[in-house]
Structure 1
Amino acid sequence: MALSKLSSFNHHIRTLTRGHFLPQPSPPSFLCLRLFSFATPEEAAAERRKRKRRLRIEPPISALRQQQQQQQPRPTSPQNPNPNAPKIPETVSVLTGNRLNLHNRILKLIRENDLEEAALLTRHSIYSNCRPTIFTCNSVMAAQLRQSRYADLLSLHRFITQAGVAANIVTHNLLLSAYMDCRKTDIAMEHYKQLINDAPFNPSPTTYRILIKGLVDNNKIEKALELKEEMLSKGFKADPIVYSYLMSAQAKNSDADSIFNLYEELKEKLGGSVSDGVIYGSLMKGYFLRGMEEKAMECYVEAVGENSTIKMSAVAFNHILDALSKNGKFDEALKLFDRMMTEHDPPKTLTVNLGSFNVMVDGYCAEGKFSDAINVFKSMGAKRCSPDTMSYNNLIEHLCSNDMLGEAEELYKDMAEKKVSPDEVTFVLLMDTCFKENRPDDAAHYFKTMVESKLRPNIGVYNRLVEGLVKVGKVDEAKSFFDMMMGKLRMKDDEYKFMMNALFEVGKHDEVLAIVDRVLREDPTDLTDELKEFVGEGLRKEGREEELPKLIEDIEREKAEAVAKAAEEAERAKASTREAVNALLNTPRLFGKKEPEDQSADSTVNSAEAVETGEEETADAVSNASGDAITGQTTA
């Protein structure tokens, strides 16, 4: 049927060509029908040759793509990832389902101020079926940072790092804040360099704010300025908050020229004007330093006047409050503070924060109005502000410095009611003031409470306690604290000499020898030649100089006897193990065929040689021998 249709089609073609007097073509064959687009077979052949030449000159796109794919290096197989490659942190999209429920549960614990339970739940969930996200871990560490629990923060960070939870930029920022708050600027900068070199993401503007503020607070302005230049060189926009930190540092150093130089630099980089009010407080301080009070007040009106176009935040207001209160304009500061309290309407408008109350407390205390300072401090709850440990310490320090220990202790009790944990600074302030007020027992109580709270007083705090107790004749109490802190603090010769000298003066030479005995047993390197000479001189005055060499000799002999006894017990255990092995190897088979005598003798000799050469893993030999015996029985 197909051939009949083809013949009719050819007839129709011939009919059409006759009417136009074209030359009669030869009837096409079935195989050449596909060449109808060409007039002759020669044209088709020429076109094929042309196409082949073009393909040799310009290969097809598919061939180019295939060639490029062959030249490109193959990506690492997911079955064999690079173990040294940095881990990519999770995105917020993973915070769903059970992981979101866990996150909300931990946030509830944080709101209830149960940080220990929140951290414990985070740790326990790491190896469970519901693994916490990095966002959950960051929430716990941020809460620990707010309460100055730096040791807990570092411990949790170390734990999640070992567990393989990939950190994000927020995690690094929290860690940098902790280092800066602890005055570990060198460690913080090393961590920043590691972040730059190894992290799969870039630092954020907040990273530079944290670092520069920490450097400024630790009086390392030159490094802060260098870091600011590095931030700009990496393409970050000039940040008014960073410049405000630097300008505040120059104001503390009374360097007005540097303040205005930084201001001009910022204004130039932002296009000729600065609309952020965070720098205006430092700018006012610069004018006050130059004695240009009118210019400073013009700057004040420009920032907070009725027609001002400057963007003011709570931090910006706080800088202006500080500039006014510290330059004889406290009345203006009070008016501005009242305005801030009126305009504060969270969450829409935020004009007051914890720093605002701290600035006003400092201002009232500088004016000698301590009752007003306490009232302002207690009124912050009305604006949904909660005092932290640093705020309490600030006011307690003002009260203790002005002989108001009773009011300071009331604030200390209020910390427990507000669930704010005191730190070392809190206890040291109260302890020093108690000694100043001739209350050594209360001072000792505060120190003991500090130690029981798992805080870590340094050697300077300990020295002040012992010196205060010895000064009022409480040598026994001082000795009890000395015994408590010997294992917790690394004491030097001066600390040992002070305590020993106090004991010598009250005739307690035996307790001095007890201290030497404990040092020799726990850490003999602490008993230096200088300390030996000091103890020997004290004993010589009582005619007991021979007791120190005898004590040293007795302790060395006891140590040698203990070593010999341990070696004897080890040899006895080794001998008993050898006997157990020999007894097991000589036990006849209970089932199956009996081994040839030659083979049994050889195995016994080999086992004995292994024991004689000091083979340590005797238990393995016993289990292997038992396994051989059982295997032999089963085979039989």
Structure 2
Amino acid sequence: MASRRLAKSLPSVSTLNAFRRHADFDPIPKPAARFDLSSVFDSSSPNAIASAPPLPTLSLSAAAPSRLARFLESHLQPSFTPADLLRLLRRRLRHHPALAPYDLHVFLWAAGVDSFRHDHSTYEWMARTLAVTDRFGPLRLLLSRMLALPCPCADGIFACPRIEPTFRFTIHAFCRAGCLDDAISAFENARKSIDGRPSAALYNALMNGFARHREHQKAVDLYERMIKDRVKPDAFTFNILISSCLRCSDLDSALDWFREMRARGCEPNVVSFNTLIKGFFKQKRFKEGIGVAREMLELGYPFSIATCEILMNSLCEEGRIQEASQLLMEHLKKGVVPEGFDCIFLVEALCKNGNAERALEVVDSLWEKGYLASEVTCTTLIEGLRSLGKLDEACGLMERMLQKRMVPDTITFNSLLEALCDAGRTLDANQLRVLASRKGLEPDRVTFGILVCGFSREGRKSEGEAVVNDMLDVGFIPNIATYNRLMESLQTGRKRSSKQKTVSFSKED
């Protein structure tokens, strides 16, 4: 039945012959006028996208405009609304592999359809789409059209309430790309279009762009204009100015802005203090940076994870490792260390400095206070203890990890087992292997090989045979020859080199 319908829909042979004789004859009916997109593809038309980048040529066929017209005809009703167009752009055209680059063409074509008018929802979605895809030429075109043909919300005496968020997003995009002139132009257009005074967020968007591109004086001038326009600055405003000063290595000016912030009745936040602490540490003024952190606590502002990371990491990077550990222990006693803080940087620095025992004290103190160190921190500490020959401490930390359902990586685990076997403690290594297997660690061939060789060196035949049988159960012994060779090594107690161990338990056996 389906094949009959398909045959009826195909053109007849006589029609195809006529088409070959008359090249200008088109057997396919042309779409309705409302789907005529020639204006947006014609470079001489005022609706054309003159500043748009060239369209892709690999994924699109030569008849892309006609395909787009048929696509619109199948998904839009004759009297479509802005909500219908937004649904088409967001849910269908956006995910089409060949027609997705034509979103702005469809947007401009819809503007020329009778009885249709874009509203703030379509303007905002199109502006955000162009911004996140770095199409700044079309974005400038869109903003100019939005000012010339505003949203229906602006037909009364008030402006559209969504015009400021739209411009604010585009200012962020322009600043991110380094197009500061376009950002300034968008800012000025937004000020003219908004009813009353703009919000501080609009000034902050442009000010942050100046700060990131080290245009500090322009950021200060914008702040002065903000005060002149009687727009009240917020904490974000002063944080941007403080950060801008520190980018220019002007810590004294940053402190002046911090005082200005307090004088204007604007309460600082954690970001304000973190920025100042980082600025002091950058200029090697560690005592003053730690003083800012203590003042932060005295004023009732709790530490964030970023605060602790700035304190610990900066001190460790400058070789002040003992001072960092003492500061962390002090904060632990006060109970101001935030939940989720991981002291990996401090533990790694202590282990590299040959002070793994101090690192173990730090981790133990964290666990006593209810802070769980991460698996990476624990494995780093275990490796540091093992390299110093502190096997009892390393085994104890490994057991605590396993009891807390923290599964280490097999490389760290096997290295610890090998150290125990080399020290003549293969029984302890095997007990640790059994505990780890119960807690979710899956031993590999290297794990069993280390234990068999350890028992062989110590002459523990029965324990070694139990390990070989476990290997057989999990399928790590490929053939009878390998099994006999393992049993023979346990019988004779022959020592094997590391190279022999690798070959003995490989799959190729």
TM-score (norm 2): 0.51
| 1:526 alignment partner, one of 417, 442, 462 | 442
In structure 1, C-alpha distance between the alignment counterparts of 2:319 and 2:349, rounded to whole Å: 8
1:462 aligns with 2:385: no
- 2-structure distance, mates of 1:262, 1:542: 76
Q: Which amino acid aligns with 2:257?
A: L
Tell me which residue corresponds to 2:418.
501
Match of 1:312 in 2: 233
**Post-superposition shift, 1:300?**
4.2
CA distance in 2 between partners of 1:443 and 1:546 (Å):
39
> Deviation at 1:509?
1.7
Measure, in 1, the Cα distance between the counterparts of 2:314 and 2:441: 43
Shift of 1:370: 1.5
SS at match of 2:371: coil
Report the alpha carbon displacement of residue 505 of structure 1 after superposing the two structures with TM.
2.6
Could you say what the CA RMSD is over the residues aligned between the two structures, in angstroms? 4.2
How many Å separate the matches in 1 of 2:166 and 2:270? 18
Comparing 394-403 and 499-508, the one that deviates more: 394-403
Which one of 206, 210, 231 corresponds to residue 283 of structure 1? Answer: 206
CA shift, 1:397, in A, is 2.8
> Contact 1:427 / 1:450 at 8 angstroms: preserved in 2?
no
The answer on 1:360 being equivalent to 2:276 is yes
Q: Deviations over 1:96-127 (max 9, x none)?
A: xxxxxxxxxxxxxxxxxxxxxxxxxxxxxxxx
Q: Which amino acid aligns with 2:218?
A: K
> Which structure has the greater CA radius of gyration?
1
Report the CA distance between 1:334 and its aligned residue: 2.2
Deviation of 1:456 after TM superposition, in Å, equals 3.2
Which one-letter code corresponds to 2:255 in the other structure? L
Establish whether residue 322 from structure 1 lines up as the match of residue 243 from structure 2: yes
Amino acid at match of 1:474: K
> Do the aligned residues in 1 keep the contact of 2:385 with 2:393 (CA within 8 Å)?
yes
Instruction: Tell me the residue number matched to 1:299.
Output: 222
Over 3 Å counting, the alpha-carbon distance change for 1:556 and 1:440 in structure 2 is same
Describe the SS at the equivalent of 2:376. Answer: helix
- Unaligned segments of structure 1, at least 5 residues: 1-220, 226-231, 345-349, 558-636
When residues 373 and 527 of structure 1 are mapped into structure 2, their CA distance, relative to the original with a 3 A threshold, is closer
Percent of paired sites with the same residue: 19
Q: Which residue of 2 aligns with 1:28?
A: none
SS across alignment from 2:341: helix
Judge conservation of contact 2:421–2:429 (CA < 8 Å) in 1: yes
The residue type paired with residue 422 of structure 2 is E
Is it true that 1:435 corresponds to 2:389 in the alignment?
no
Question: CA–CA distance in 2 between the matches of 1:531 and 1:390?
Answer: 39
Q: 1:385 Cα shift?
A: 3.8
1:523–1:414 Cα change, 3 Å: closer
User: Structure 1 pair 505/360, CA: closer, same or farther in 2 (3 Å)?
Assistant: same
Q: Does 1:484 align with 2:400?
A: yes
- The count of residues paired between Structure 1 and Structure 2 equals 316
For residues 539-618 of structure 1, what are the structure 2 equivalents within 5 Å? Answer: 539-540=455-456, 547-551=463-467, 553=469
Q: For the structure 1 residues 475 and 419, does the alpha-carbon distance in structure 2 shift closer, same or farther, using more than 3 Å as the test? A: closer
SS in 1 for 2:284: coil
Residue matched to 2:62: none
Which residue of structure 1 lines up, in the alignment, with residue 488 of structure 2?
Answer: none
The equivalent of 1:453 in structure 2 is 369
Cα drift, residue 322 of structure 1: 1.0
3-state SS, counterpart of residue 198 of structure 2: coil
Change beyond 3 A, Cα 1:241–1:478: farther
8 Å contact from structure 1 (residues 325, 363) kept in 2: yes
Q: Is the 8 A contact 2:163 2:190 kept in 1?
A: yes
1:248-289 CA-partner distances (Å, limit 9, x unpaired): x997xx7423x7767766765675468333455553453466
Distance 1:329 1:280, change over 3 A: farther
Question: Where do 1:51-130 residues align within 5 Å?
Answer: none
Q: Which aligned pairs between 1:73-222 and structure 2 lie closer than 5 A?
A: none
Q: In structure 1, what is the Cα distance between the partners aligned to 2:292 and 2:313?
A: 16
Q: Which amino acid aligns with 1:396?
A: M
Aligned to 2:125: none
User: CA 1:320–1:354 in structure 2 vs 1: closer, same or farther (change >3 Å)?
Assistant: same
CA contact (8 A) 2:407 2:441 kept: no
- Going from structure 1 to structure 2, the CA distance change for 1:323 and 1:525 (only over 3 Å counts) comes to closer
Using the TM superposition, give the Cα deviation of residue 474 of structure 1 relative to its aligned residue in structure 2, in angstroms.
0.9
Aligned residue among 178, 197, 217 for 1:256: 178
- Once residues 310 and 264 of structure 1 are traced to their aligned partners in structure 2, the CA distance between those partners, rounded to angstroms, is 19
| Structure 2 unaligned residues grouped into runs of 5+ | 1-130, 136-150, 152-159, 474-509
Between 1:394-403 and 1:502-511, the stretch displaced more is 394-403
Which structure would you say has the larger RCO, counting Cα contacts within 8 Å and 6 or more residues apart?
Answer: 2
1:492 is displaced (CA, Å) by: 3.9
